[in-house]
Amino acid sequence: MVKTLSKKRSSAKYDVIVKAKATSTRIVGINNEIVRLETNGKGQVTGKYYSGVHWDTVESTILSDGSAMLAIKYLHVTKNGESIAGTGTGTQLSPKKGGFAKVTAEGTRWTSAPKLSHLNGGRWTVNGEMNTIRETVEVRGNFTILNT
């Protein structure tokens, strides 16, 4: 019984877990100092408040040292058909051995779903890792719920 409780505690550590893979990448701009990319991704979202499908568009400005600034737009559709949308910004550190790069991001979200309306206007934060070779990302994070 103790093991079950500890598993529940560890799984409740994060409000959201996103696992996604790039489905397309487009070079938006390039020069001797930066590369600007637009990447679309699809995957799964699981969490404390809902689970379902994850779609995103990330605009990356990759600097000469390999790090990047990120502009994020996403849509989650729950298993019940409810939609949650969000936007945010983040950073990606320079990739290390094997193409792995640390990612952090934050932003806001909203939904028209009555059962999830407590999520409206609240902030989200995530930390994780991107595999730049396989074009996959896994992030884990938390939600700030506004008192209404």
Domains in the chain, start-ordered, CATH in brackets? 15-143 (2.40.160.20)
Residue 80 clears pLDDT 50, i.e. is over it: yes
Biggest CA pair distance of the chain: 59
Kindly report, residue by residue over 41-75, the tens digit of the pLDDT. 999 999 999 999 999 999 999 999 999 999 999 99
Cα distance between residue 90 and residue 88, in whole Å: 7
Token pair, residue 133, equals 């070779």
Q: What mean pLDDT is predicted for residues 120-147?
A: 94
